[in-house]
A = this chain, B = another copy of it.
Amino acid sequence: MFDAVTMDRSKNSAFLQVGSVKVSDPFWGAFMERIRTKVIPYQWEALNDRVPGAEPSYSMRNFKLAAELTHPELDYGVPRDTGHGGRVFQDSDFAKWIEAASYSLIWHPDPDLEKLLDDAIDIVCNAQQSDGYLNTYYINTGLDKRFTNLKDNHELYCFGHFLEAAIAYYEATGKRKLLDALIRYAKCIDRLIGPEEGKLHGYPGHEIAEMALVRLYAITKDEKHLKLAKYFIDQRGQQPLFFEEETARNGNTFRWKDSHFQYQYYQAGKPVRDQHIAEGHAVRAVYLYSGMADIARLTGDKELLEACNDLWNNIVNRQMYITGGIGQSEYGESFTFDYDLPNDTVYAETCASIGLAFFARRMASIAPRGIYGDVMEKTLFNGIISGISLDGTSFFYVNPLEAFPESCRKDRRMSRVEITRQKWFGCACCPPNLARILASLGGYVHSVGDNTLYTHLFMGSEAKCKIAGADLSVKIKTKYPWEGKVDIRFEMTGRPRFTYGFRIPGWCQTYTVSLNGVETPCRVENGFGLIDREWKGGDTISLDLEMPVRFVRANPRVRANTGKIAVMRGPVVYCLEEADNGPGLYRIHVSDPLDPADPRDPADSGEPAGIKVRHEDNFLQGVTTIAFTGKREKDWPEDALYGTAKPVLEDKQLLFIPYYAWANRDKGEMTVWINS
């Protein structure tokens, strides 16, 4: 369908950053506003252990304790008798919050929030050691042990997250304090880890530092930062295996030694260029692949790009839920194997979908392909925002595609599957990760490269960029994903000639493109419609993407979905919920009303007869619902488990809601895939 991505640096494009794209989308605007007004303040309380009934975070307390150890003259009021709290990676939750709050400040200046950040950053910086080291776990529990367990103790992961936070805060405010602290920490790491003799030949046990260092390099242009990121990528999985040596040397445990994972849990069982199937811990994996794509783009490394292509294709064509969820198994929060996509014992961690969006954005930066935007919007409209309640105060870590309440209580295979979003988690990676991606959505809309502006996502927004020597403003107006009409209006200085490329979603079979109100043909390449012309201020491109209800099937190799369909409309995956459809969702059957043998209403232009698509402003904070008549298996008259009677079906009115909006009402069953 698409040309394979090969390394052609003239195809590279750079995404416009959050600061260049002001989002004013009716759909996403509401989510972002919720992040700003609810989630960021709520998470600040959570990070300070002030949310009643939620598991404590210890994040701020740990930093205060560390700062107090470093600057004993300062008093942060942390009780002296308490030690370091929470998991070894607790710093990262705080870093993600700084990052999210920083993005929020860009378009919503807020002196109170900025003051809160400044004060918190002062504490963080006061915790920094004289050699630049900055990790509360080791500062509070014993610096002699630092860098003795890169494999499991998340030091470089926390470093990476703090670096992302520092960059975001710098971009939002221009303030360098945290950035400089992180540059010093990067130097400290550089002194200890690297290819030179006497240094540790190590790399992160949980990836993210790779992409963070690439972002730092973009700011500093300091080759050292790129070099360290590249070293982390290149050294990973090389023999002798660092993690194996480290484990032996320091007497660390190796949790996966009896598992099929071995070091592939960490994507470190073989060199990254030899990795072609997504394996191991899913969040780690897509964070690594994102870093690999960054380095492939910056260095033109063809072999690395090939690995990225293969890993991408493996995920998207073999291991991704229809919601954009990835990581099928709770065991190791991991990928399992091709076409293994159980709906009920699924993991599909919110963070993993977020990481997949990172990977997609970076692949799109190497070469524009509609599939990357398709996956970005698939994750965003489905598997990512399913992770947060509509009121912004509770969260899913695991995003099931089928939920049966009694199983979650009584079937330990589903011990991590919740049917109610939680206020917080002991391992709270997901909530602040949601905040940072949703607060930075503007950075996923457009990219510029090769005299071309590409629009990857349709999101009401106003962007500013330079192209063909001109200052261009791009204003998008749309009611996406509920309606397929997208208006893109340019304002600019002069009359520059450039190519405008807009993604034609993979789900869309029929569309029209108009220029200034006149339907116009356009060249289509790799999922992008392209218009090459001399533009002028006021030029408006209108896309009209037909958005019929679709009955989607899974590849026949997907065991879990044989004989089932999922309902989609545009990029949105729908589900049945008990609140609307009663219990026993597994007993519902739909015949495919799109079947040509089925009667259609000839007067109706789009939807097949009987399907009612309705937008309801006051339902689930505004959703388009889908309703039609299906069938439901009737109960058997006798109390028996087995018999030869054929199923008796009765008509059943079905109401489908967007998947992301489930579990916002009474607890109950939910299913995405329905018997056909």
Contacts and interface: CB of A to CB of B under 8 A. Distances in A.
Interface in A619-676: 633-636, 638-647, 675
Interface in A563-585: 563, 566, 584
A404 B559 contact: yes
A562 B590 CA distance: 13
- Classify chain A's interface size: 35 or more
Interface string A320-355: 101000000111000011001100010000000000
A318 interface: yes
Contacts of A337: 406, 410
Contacts of A260: 409-410
A631 to B, nearest CB: 11
Given A406-B340, A411-B329, A640-B555, A562 B550 contact: no
Interface string A576-616: 00000000101101001011000000000000000000000
A87 interface: no
Given A589-B563, A675-B563, A413 B410 contact: no
B557 A345 contact: no
A217 interface: no
A411 B331 contact: yes
B635 A340 contact: no
Contacts of A330: 412
A561 B316 CA distance: 29
Contact of A636 (B407, B555, B641): B555
A556 interface: yes
Interface in A536-574: 550-559, 562-563, 566
A345 to B, nearest CB: 6
B563 A636 contact: no
A635 B317 contact: no
The A interface is mostly helix, strand or loop, or mixed, namely: loop
A325 to B, nearest CB: 12
Q: How many copies does the complex hold?
A: 2
A262 B407 CA distance: 17
B589 A556 contact: no
A176 B31 CA distance: 80
A253 interface: no
Contacts of A646: 553, 592, 595
A493 interface: no
Q: A407, A556, A634, A645: which has the most chain B beta carbons within 10 Å?
A: A556
Given A331-B412, A345-B345, A641 B318 contact: yes
A1 interface: yes
Given A317-B641, A563-B589, A635 B557 contact: yes
A316 B644 CA distance: 16
A643 to B, nearest CB: 6
Contact of A556 (B410, B557, B594, B636): B636
A556 B411 contact: no
Contacts of A516: none
A584 B557 CA distance: 7
Interface string A516-539: 000000000000000000000000
14 contacts: A313-B639, A316-B641, A322-B642, A331-B413, A345-B345, A404-B559, A413-B413, A551-B644, A553-B643, A554-B641, A555-B640, A562-B586, A563-B589, A563-B647
Interface of A: 1, 260, 313, 316-318, 320, 322, 329-331, 336-337, 340-341, 345, 404, 406-407, 409-413, 550-559, 562-563, 566, 584, 586-587, 589, 592, 594-595, 633-636, 638-647, 675
Given A555-B642, A562-B586, 16 more contacts: A317-B641, A329-B412, A340-B407, A345-B413, A552-B644, A553-B643, A553-B645, A553-B646, A554-B641, A555-B636, A555-B641, A562-B675, A563-B647, A563-B675, A566-B642, A595-B646
